[in-house]
Chain A
Amino acid sequence: MNAVTPLVHSDKPVSKVLVLHEGRKHAAAIKAFCAANDLVPHKVRSDALLPFLAANIDLGGILLADDYGGSPSAAWRTARAIRTLRPELPIFLRRGPDFRVDDVPADLRHAFCAIYAADDMGVLRQAVSDYIFSLVYPNALVRGISEISEAILAERFSDWHVRWDTPFVVHDRVIFGEVLSLIQLESAWCRGYMMLQAEEAALLSLPVEGASNDGSDFRGGNSLLSELTNLIWGSFKNRFIGTAVASPAHQVQVPLIVNLDHRYMSFGTRDPQLCFRYTLTRADGERRVTLLQRFVFNINWLPEQFRELTQAEIGTADAGALELF
């Protein structure tokens, strides 16, 4: 799995985009555009594109030039391959200054979320805003999630170093690793899920105090991921939800689809997911565990009603201390 390039930690999520442009003519413009629009560009050799797309990576979208591969027909082939492998990814098509929409093959006209001229980046900017950063995640929420999760991991695994990358949004629906936890988040301002994803072998290398299992029983990994999820969920509720219950008007449900063969999971929405990646490294540097955390507010998302609870609302108890009544 390729990590999003760590930037200076920010409360504003970034997104990784695959840039399928050739030649140097527009490279500087794309680089500058990405830097100005919270995008982390990623390039791949054309002969490695399909394996790259098939791999488990976190992408927000694809910037495709209509001459990628040497000609428009080659670019259309690439677009079809992307649609087959990753239909959930928005594709932004760059064309020459005098382009016509009707010379795009009919079967591909709806494949592109935006078609823009190389000399008019305003169209691309708007499309990136609409399709990649279509949901607003309040900075206090993003910062709070990082703080909560990092503190819990650091407390739980005191001999391990915890590092987190800049939060990011993704459109792909591919599950990282083999173990996945899922817990519902429900409040007046959100309804959705939090997921933690991990590779099983790495997960089993994490220590569990008092555990009788020697790391060979997969259920030990399941239980550990479940407990980490529970701890983060509890802190999330205590800090951001409190007693703010969801409105009965929002008590709808949608089916979740999991395709085990493709390691694909859909929540029935095309909205981007808010992601965090934590890397735990043992003090001796010999072992490394990656945990991917995703938030998908697929049923209700009202960031304007979001607020962090006050200390009085949260209560005063220190974690681990016994409060006697």
Chain B
Amino acid sequence: MARILVVDDSSTVRDEVAGFLKTNGIDVAIAVDGKDGLAKLQADPGIKLVIADINMPNMDGLTMVEKIRSDLGNHAVNLIMLTTESSPQMKERGKAAGVKGWIVKPFKGAAVLEAFKKMVA
């Protein structure tokens, strides 16, 4: 079954996003930072979409997505940033790394649910 990996150092955000997705019938995995996210993605081929924060300890979200494309060589998984960052420069870096979409926090599940479903279909 296709899964979404939620990567955020905040348990509040993880609970909120994962809870919303589960309630809407989507299978979810969670990771607490970029390093954990890389490991979870590598271990689970069922993950079709990664929703990641940027500002996290150990490894930030943009470094994680760069490593997903380069070190893991995974160009298939969809990558979406869920972050408080909204500067054009930061988005450019995300685009260059292969990020497919950008959500400025706070998370509003109803606004993005259909797009998420398409990405894991």
Contacts and interface: CB of A to CB of B under 8 A. Distances in A.
Given A230-B84, A235-B84, A317-B86, A322 B112 contact: yes
A321 B82 CA distance: 10
A77 interface: no
Contacts of B42: none
A163 B91 CA distance: 34
A78 to B, nearest CB: 46
A216 B99 CA distance: 38
Contact of A320 (B13, B88, B103, B115): B103
Interface stretch (A44-52, A67-75, A205-213): A205-213
A98 interface: no
Contacts, number: 109
Contacts of A201: none
Interface in B51-67: 55
Contacts of A237: 84-85, 87
Interface stretch (B15-23, B33-41, B69-77): B15-23
Contacts of A238: 84-87
Nearest to B110: A320
A319 B105 contact: yes
Given A233-B84, A322-B80, A210 B18 contact: yes
Interface centre among B10, B20, B104, B108, by most chain A C-beta atoms within 10 angstroms, is B104
B16 A208 contact: yes
A156 B105 CA distance: 11
Contacts of A211: 12, 15-16, 19
B121 interface: no
A322 B115 contact: yes
A215 to B, nearest CB: 13
B55 A230 contact: yes
Interface residues of A, number: 35
Q: How large is the interface on B (under 10, 10 to 19, 20 to 34, 35 or more residues)?
A: 35 or more
Interface in A223-281: 223-224, 226-227, 230-231, 233-235, 237-238, 242-243
A315 interface: yes
B121 to A, nearest CB: 16
A13 to B, nearest CB: 25
Interface in A177-227: 208-212, 219-220, 223-224, 226-227
Contact of A227 (B13, B99, B101, B115): B13
Interface centre among B18, B106, B115, by most chain A C-beta atoms within 10 angstroms, is B106
A54 to B, nearest CB: 34
A147 interface: no
A231 B106 CA distance: 7
Interface string A298-325: 0000000000000001110111111111
Interface of A: 152, 155-156, 208-212, 219-220, 223-224, 226-227, 230-231, 233-235, 237-238, 242-243, 313-315, 317-325
Given A237-B84, A315-B87, A319-B104, 13 more contacts: A152-B106, A210-B17, A211-B16, A230-B84, A237-B87, A238-B85, A314-B87, A317-B86, A321-B108, A321-B112, A322-B103, A323-B101, A325-B101
